Structure 1
Amino acid sequence: MPLILLIVALVALRYFEVWKFAGLSWWWIVGLMALAFVWFEYIEKILGLDKKKEHNEDEKRRKARVKQAFDQQNKKR
């Protein structure tokens, strides 16, 4: 995500010709966009980071379900 924010910031700074970014080549920004594409489409999947995020979300939902079930069980007693 920081890479995407960096790209957005660079595009805005280059477009509005702010300070030293006015002379920045668009190719640097396009290169970062290509790097972001490769990262999110290929490298993240190869490293399993996309599945890790899904497993963490599933684990949070499971823990919430278990906690809710125990809370309801304790209220019935």
Structure 2
Amino acid sequence: MWFVAIGVVMVLMQFFGIGPLASWTWANDWFMLLLPFALAVAWWAWCDATGYTRKKAMARDDERRDARRQKAIDALGLKRGGRK
């Protein structure tokens, strides 16, 4: 997501003539203006290929489940831990 945001900011800066990007032209520097978008596509492809996004989603679900269990244990007044 960061690559897309950076790319949008770069394109807007070039379009409105702000900063050093004002001197870039689409005819000569198109690859520099589109590089963040290409990096975003590469990042998403890598995340999907390696299962990174699925692992993050599973970890988030596990944290929610553990928090829900802990809340239920606290509501019942039980101590969390092993048996004595």
Flag whether TM exceeds 0.5 (same fold): yes
Q: 2:48, 2:76 → 1: CA distance?
A: 40
> Which amino acid in 2 is paired with 1:13?
M
**Pair member with larger Rg:** 2
Question: How much is the aligned-residue C-alpha RMSD, in angstroms?
Answer: 1.9
2:63 corresponds to: 60
> Do the aligned partners of 2:7 and 2:35 also contact (CA within 8 Å) in 1?
no
* Post-superposition offset of 1:59: 1.5
Kept in 1: contact 2:16–2:22 (CA 8 A)? yes
Q: Using the alignment, how far apart are the partners of 2:4 and 2:34 within structure 1?
A: 12
TM-score, normalised via structure 1 length? 0.76
The one-letter code sitting in structure 2 at the alignment partner of 1:19 is G
Higher relative contact order (CA 8 A, sep 6+): 2
Gaps of 5+ in 2: 79-84
TM-score by length of 2: 0.71
Residue 82 of structure 2 corresponds to none
User: Which 5+ residue runs of structure 1 have no aligned equivalent?
Assistant: none
Tell me how many residue pairs correspond in the alignment: 74
